[in-house]
Structure 1
Amino acid sequence: MAQVAENREFLAVQLSKHFYLSELTKSQTAARKGWNNIPDAKGISKLRLLCEKVLEPVRAEFGVTVCSSGYRSPRVNRAVGGSKTSQHRLCEAADFEVPGVANPDVARWMERRLNYDQLILEFYKRGQPNSGWIHVSYREGRLRNMEMTALRVKRLGRWKTVYITGLVTNYVIEEAESNMNWWEEIKLFFTGQVLLPA
Structure 2
Amino acid sequence: MQLTKHFTVEELTRSTAARNLSIDNTPNKSEMANLKLLAETVLEPLREAFGHPIIVNSGFRCAAVNKAVGGVRTSQHMLGQAADIRTLSNTSEDNKALFETAASLVRAGKINVGQLIDEYGYSWVHISTPGKHVNNVIHIK
Quick one: which amino acid aligns to residue 87 of structure 2?
V
Describe how 1:101-112 pairs up with structure 2 within 5 A.
102-112=94-104
Q: Give the equivalent residue in structure 1 for 2:54.
A: 65
1:139 and 1:16 map into 2 onto residues whose CA distance is 19
Aligned residues between the structures? 132
Select the structure that is richer in strand. 1
Q: Which has the higher contact order (CA 8 A, sep 6+)?
A: 2
Deviations 1:20-79 (A, max 9, x none): 111011111110111100110111110011111111112112221100000110001111
Describe how 1:178-197 pairs up with structure 2 within 5 A.
none
Alpha carbons 2:31, 2:79 under 8 Å: kept = yes
Quick one: which amino acid aligns to residue 57 of structure 1?
P
Larger radius of gyration: 1
Select the structure that is richer in helix. 2
Structure 1 gap segments, 5+ residues each: 1-12, 125-130, 151-198
Describe how 1:58-137 pairs up with structure 2 within 5 A.
58-62=46-50, 63-100=52-89, 102-113=94-105, 114-124=111-121, 131-137=122-128
Structure 2 gap segments, 5+ residues each: 106-110
Normalising by structure 1, we get a TM-score of: 0.62
The alignment status of 1:148 with 2:139, answered yes or no, reads: yes
Deviations 1:1-35 (A, max 9, x none): xxxxxxxxxxxx22212111110111111101111
Normalising by structure 2, we get a TM-score of: 0.86
Residue 132 of structure 1 deviates from its aligned partner by 0.4
